[in-house]
Structure 1
Amino acid sequence: MLALVIGSLTLFTIGALLVKFATADGDFTLLFKGRAKRERVEGKVVWITGASRGIGEVLAGQFACLGAKLILSARNVAELERVKIETIGKYPGTNIEILPLDLASGEEALKDAVKKAESLFSASGVDYMVHNAAFERPKRKALDETEEGIQATFNTNVLGTITLTKLLAPFMLKRGGGHFIVMSSAAGKCPAPGQAIYSASKHALNGYFHTLRSELYPEGIKVTVVCPGPIETSITSGAGSSASGSSERRVSSERCAELTIVAATHDLKEAWISYQPVLLVMYLVQYMPTIGFWFMDKIGGNRLEAAKRNGDTYSWKLFFGEKKKTA
C-alpha cells in the first residue's frame, strides 16, 4: 500500500513538472525565485543602453517602479526624451538623465560617456550597467553574410559593449562593487539558423562576461547574463515587429523585463527566458548537446525557408518540414 502511495505521488510530481515545463516562460531556477527584490534596486543608479524602445524602454519603466535612478542611452535622442517623459508620467519623482550613445563610436567617445555617466548623480556612480543595445540583421544564410554586416554586428554587440564595460568597471572596483546585466540571447546558447553572425556575437558576449565575473567576483563585481528567446517588442517600441502577422508565440517585453530584474536582484549568473520549443532546445544543448545539436541540424534548412516566407521560425513544425502540395 505504501509503495502504491509513493508511486502515485512520484507520478503526480513528474506530471506536474512536465506541465510546468511545457507552459514555462523561463528556466526553472529563475521561475522559482519569485519577485524582484526592491531593496536591491531602490535608490541605485541604473544605466541602460538601447533604452529608446523595446525591452530597454520597458526595463526603464520597471526599474523606475522599483525606485531606481536611471541613465538612458541610445542613438535616438528624441525617443529617449519620449521614454523619459512617459516614465516620469507613470512614476512621478523618478530621477532620469539622458545620455546619447553610439556603441560603435569608438573608445574615446565611450570614455567620455562613462565619465559623464559617473558624474550625473552627485555622490553616486553607476551601480547597474544594463547592456541591452544590440544590432540584428534580417535572417539569411551564414555564407551570404557580408563583411559590412559582420563588422556592424560585432562593432555594436561585442566590441562596443566590451569596451564600455572595460571603461566602467574600474569605477565600480574603486567603490567595491557593481553589477553588469547583459541582455544576450538564446542564440548565444544554441545554433540559430539564419542568424549566424548575430549568434556568434552573442556567444562572444557570453564567453566574455562569464569570464569577467569569474575574475572580478571576489572584488564585488556581479554579472547576470540573460538569454531571451523570441520577444514581442512591437507594442512598446512603436515599430513593426518581425513577428507581425505571423503565428510566432513570443514572451512579452514586460514579462522579459520583469524576469530580467528578478534574475539580477537574486544574483543569478545566467537566466533563460522563452516559451517552448526554444526553451527545450536550450536545455537539450546545455545538458544533452549531441541530441540538442541533432535537433537543430534537423530544423536548420526548414527555418531558413520559413524566414524567406516571413513565417513562423520558432515552430515545432520546423522539425517535420512542410508537406509538399500535390498538383
Structure 2
Amino acid sequence: MYGVYSTLRLLDPKFPRTSEEPKRIGQRHAGAKKMLLLFLLALLAGAAAFLLFKFATVVDGDLTLVSRGPPRRERVDGKVVWITGASRGIGEVLSMQFANLGAKLILSARNKDELERVKQNILSKNPDSRIEVLPMDLSAGEESLKQVVHAAESLFSNAGIDYMIHNAAFERPKRGALEESEGGLKATFNVNVIGTINLTRLLAPYMLDRGMGHFVVMSSAAGKVPAPGQAVYSASKHALNGYFTSLRSELCTKGIKVTVVCPGPIETPQSSAAASSVQRHSSEKRVSVERCAELTIVAATHGLKEAWISYQPVLTVMYLVQYMPTIGYWLMDKIGAKRLDAAAKKGNTYSWNLIFGGKKSA
C-alpha cells in the first residue's frame, strides 16, 4: 500500500501523503461548508431583521406597493384624469400631482368655487396644465350623473376618460354601530356606494367602446378590516371593495383596469386646529396627504390591483386579517370597546396602547 501511495505522489504532488489524509481533507471541506451555511443563515436572519424593523417603524404601505418605485409618468402624460372630491384633501393633492405628471384634469365636487380655487392653484405652478371644472353631486341620482358623464366624455375634443379617480367620500364622526341614525346611514351610502357605483355604470360603457380605461378607487383600511366606531363607514367601504374587485374580474379581459387603494389614517391640511391638537397629544402617527397621493399614483401607474397605505399598527392588523383572519379578528375584538372609548375622549384610535394597554374605562 505504501508503494502505491508513493507512486501516486510522484505522479501528482498534490496527492495526499497518507491514507488518512483524504479523510482529513473531507472533514475540512465539510467544516468549511458548515461555516458557509451558517454565514448565509446569519446573513438571511440579518436581512429579515432589517426588513422587519423597517416594516415596523418606517414603511408606510404594503410591501408590494413600496417596492414599486416612483410613479410612471409615461402612463399618465397626456391622459385624461377625472377626479371626484377634488376640492380638498386627498383629491386636491392628487390633482396637483397628476398635473405635475402631465395629465389633463377634470375636477369634480359639489363646490364650484373651491374647484376653481384648486384649478388656479395648479395653474399658478403648472401654467401649461389643461384643466376643466365639472361640478357634480354624487347623490343627485342617475339622470343627473348621466348628464355629467356625457359632459366629461365630451371635454378635451371628445378624448374620453382614461382614469376615473373615485375619491369623493362621506365620513361620519366615530360612534357605536347601534348609535347611527337612518339619515347618517343613507347619507354615507348615497355618496360612498350608490353614487360611486352609478357613476361607474354610466362611464364604463364609454371605456369599453374604446377598449381601455382605469378605475382608481379610494377605499379605506376600514374596507379591509373591522373598524370599531366606524361601522357604517366601514360597511360602505367594504361594499366598494366587493363591487370593484368583482367588476375587475368581469372586465379585465376587455381592457378595463381597477386599482383599489386602502389608506389608513391620513394627515390632511384641512384637519381642524382641535383635531391637530388631539393628534399632537395622542402621538397619532398619520401618513401625509402628499405621500398618500404619491403612493396612490404609484399603485395606479404600476397597475396594482390593490394597495394599502398606512403606518403601524394599522398595517399589521391588515396583514393579520388578510392572512390569519382568526387571529386578526380576535385582536380587533380585543380592542373594539377600547377604541370606542378612545374616540369618545378624542384620543388616539390607532395606538398600540389599544392592544397592550389597560381595559376600557368605566
Give 1:90 deviation, angstroms: 1.0
User: SS state of the match for residue 35, structure 1?
Assistant: coil
Give 1:323 deviation, angstroms: 7.0
1:43-87 deviation line (CA, Å, top 9, x unaligned)? 000000000000000000000000000000001111111000001
**In 2: Cα distance, 1:184 partner to 1:127 partner:** 20
2:329 matched to 1:264?
no
Report 1:246-257 matches (<5 A). 246=279, 247-257=283-293
User: SS state of the match for residue 139, structure 2?
Assistant: coil
2:225 matched to 1:187?
no
**In 2: Cα distance, 1:26 partner to 1:186 partner:** 11
Query: 2:37 corresponds to which residue?
Result: 3
2:331 matched to 1:295?
yes
Query: 2:26 corresponds to which residue?
Result: none
Deviates more, 1:113-122 or 1:316-325: 316-325
Query: 1:94 corresponds to which residue?
Result: 129
| Aligned with 2:52 (options 18, 32, 41) | 18
Query: 1:157 corresponds to which residue?
Result: 192
Query: 1:145 corresponds to which residue?
Result: 180
Report 1:63-82 matches (<5 A). 63-82=98-117
Q: 1:241 to 1:273 in 2, by over 3 A?
A: farther
**In 2: Cα distance, 1:82 partner to 1:260 partner:** 23
Query: 1:202 corresponds to which residue?
Result: 237
Give 1:7 deviation, angstroms: 1.7
**In 2: Cα distance, 1:177 partner to 1:239 partner:** 40
Q: 1:242 to 1:197 in 2, by over 3 A?
A: farther
Query: 1:120 corresponds to which residue?
Result: 155
Give 1:142 deviation, angstroms: 0.2
User: SS state of the match for residue 70, structure 2?
Assistant: coil
**In 1: Cα distance, 2:341 partner to 2:271 partner:** 28
User: SS state of the match for residue 245, structure 1?
Assistant: helix
Deviates more, 1:150-159 or 1:1-10: 1-10
Report 1:277-316 matches (<5 A). 277-316=313-352
Give 1:320 deviation, angstroms: 3.0
| Aligned with 1:135 (options 160, 167, 170) | 170
8 Å Cα contact 1:45/1:71 also seen in 2: yes
| Aligned with 2:75 (options 40, 45, 59) | 40
8 Å Cα contact 1:232/1:241 also seen in 2: no
User: SS state of the match for residue 83, structure 2?
Assistant: strand
Q: 1:242 to 1:203 in 2, by over 3 A?
A: farther
**Structure 2 letter corresponding to 1:214:** S
**In 1: Cα distance, 2:37 partner to 2:75 partner:** 46
Give 1:245 deviation, angstroms: 2.7
Give ranges in structure 1 of 5+ residues lacking alignment.
Answer: none
**In 1: Cα distance, 2:101 partner to 2:121 partner:** 16
Query: 1:320 corresponds to which residue?
Result: 356
TM-score computed with the length of structure 2 as normaliser: 0.87
8 Å Cα contact 2:266/2:287 also seen in 1: yes
**In 2: Cα distance, 1:15 partner to 1:215 partner:** 41
2:151 matched to 1:105?
no
**In 2: Cα distance, 1:241 partner to 1:72 partner:** 29
**In 2: Cα distance, 1:42 partner to 1:138 partner:** 38
Larger % of helix: which? Answer: 2
**In 2: Cα distance, 1:41 partner to 1:241 partner:** 38
Identity of aligned residues (%): 70
Give 1:241 deviation, angstroms: 7.7
**RMSD of equivalent CA atoms:** 1.4
Query: 2:4 corresponds to which residue?
Result: none
**In 2: Cα distance, 1:188 partner to 1:61 partner:** 26
Structure exhibiting the larger radius of gyration computed from Cα positions: 2
Q: How many residues are aligned here?
A: 323
User: SS state of the match for residue 99, structure 2?
Assistant: helix
